[in-house]
Amino acid sequence: MRFRVRRRSAVPPALSGKLAADELVTAVAQTTQGPVLVCTRRALWRVVGDDADPLGWDRVAKAKLDAGRLTITATVEVEVWADGTSMVRDAEPVEYRFAQSTKVTDQVHARVRRSVAASRYLPWPGCGAWVALRRVPGRDGLHPQVRLDPGADPAAPGFTDAVAAVVAELRGARPTGVTGADD
């Protein structure tokens, strides 16, 4: 019986010393535009030359694969409330192309899905948003994240209380107050 050993892509030298001791590399792929994408348990790393920048899985809003193109929409934190709730907006999507099939796309989808423990859309006059409980790499527990709709005004009357009620519902607690525009 003959066994084939599949050669794995090497981890770029730019990541040397940047990965935590327990950070497992799960996939590596060269894009056609130049950057190397490296998936780990904690982040998607974009490596260009000697630079390596991580994008934590909790910061990926959307990942879409279409015809060999992986489009990543990251979030940008705009505010953190006193209770630790993170208010975010979508950044411009970034597209990566691959010359061949790669495990990076599967890993991105799996890691992003695992980072969201629960979510619900909160329609609100002047400020709709996705409210989610997310797993943040390297931190215990679930952390609330509010992903604002484009043009949403987080200062809309009642929005803060509505978010708190949705977070309580997602955590399984008994909700108090309003939970949506229909209430």
Per residue in 49-58, pLDDT tens?
999 999 999 9
66 in a structural domain: yes
**Domain tally for the chain?**
1
- The model carries a pTM of 0.83
Q: In the chain, which ranges are E strands?
A: 25-30, 36-40, 43-48, 51-56, 60-66, 69-80, 86-90, 94-97, 116-122, 129-135, 142-148
Distance (Å, rounded) from C-alpha 26 to C-alpha 10? Answer: 11
122 in a structural domain: yes
Provide the domain limits for residue 38: 13-170
21 in a structural domain: yes
CATH of the domain at 85: 2.30.29.30
32 in a structural domain: yes
166 in a structural domain: yes
Q: What confidence tens digit (pLDDT) does each residue in 78-130 have?
A: 999 998 999 999 999 999 999 888 899 899 999 999 999 999 999 999 999 99
